[in-house]
Chain A
Amino acid sequence: AQSVTQPDIHITVSEGASLELRCNYSYGATPYLFWYVQSPGQGLQLLLKYFSGDTLVQGIKGFEAEFKRSQSSFNLRKPSVHWSDAAEYFCAVGPLRPGGGNKLTFGTGTQLKVEL
């Protein structure tokens, strides 16, 4: 069965500091990996996705993530955090294929707090 682990429940960083959010997955095939962000009272917004190819993927809002197959990890990074980045971040894994199969397995999330 597929699973996603986000080891850090809460993270606090100072504005302007760098950020890394950890994600480890377990999946029996080539995974499709995603990072979503959720602001309070909002739905989920896709930050970036990895399907294949270059293991370093760029996303929106200055985020990037690196897929490391040997470590079963897909960590999210940002060089300089802005106060507006405070939100909850979810890593997800799943197969997406034409015609169906949009089942994503999400981690439990990491709550990011940004100190000014």
Chain B
Amino acid sequence: ETGVTQSPTHLIKTRGQQVTLRCSSQSGHNTVSWYQQALGQGPQFIFQYYREEENGRGNFPPRFSGLQFPNYSSELNVNALELDDSALYLCASSSDVAGGPSGELFFGEGSRLTVL
């Protein structure tokens, strides 16, 4: 069983640039969530994709956008980068279960973004 994989693991951008982060969900999982974890903080929910549509969004501006592909992999795009976007970006996948939640998010190891 393949776990959640994210790429790239580290990247450095300058303010105003755009970045794309990628996530491959665990085999059999159809839901992908993205979280931002600033240094010394807990992860914060950005949004979730279910069956290729955004299905829930946290308190993040529209310059944070995403995609989910038919194979359930996902991208997170951030435009007009700001210094405060520097963080660890975590992707989590899960499956839905008829009659109840699956109850577990499987997290990747994250992509660490530094904005200079």
Contacts and interface: CB of A to CB of B under 8 A. Distances in A.
A90 B48 contact: no
B90 A98 contact: no
B21 interface: no
Contacts, number: 80
Interface in B73-116: 90, 92, 94, 96-110
B43 A100 contact: no
Contact of B4 (A43, A46, A102): A43
A108 to B, nearest CB: 5
Nearest to B45: A103
A58 interface: no
A92 B41 CA distance: 13
B44 interface: yes
Interface residues of A, number: 28
Contacts of A41: 109
A80 interface: no
A100 B48 contact: yes
A87 B37 CA distance: 16
A102 B99 CA distance: 15
Contact of B107 (A45, A99, A108, A109): A45
B71 to A, nearest CB: 19
B45 A100 contact: no
A10 to B, nearest CB: 11
B42 A96 contact: no
- The 9 lowest CB-CB distance pairs between A and B, nearest first, are A106-B42, A96-B101, A43-B107, A100-B55, A98-B96, A44-B107, A43-B109, A103-B45, A100-B50
14 contacts: A4-B42, A51-B103, A92-B42, A97-B96, A97-B100, A98-B98, A98-B99, A100-B48, A101-B56, A102-B31, A102-B56, A103-B56, A106-B42, A109-B41
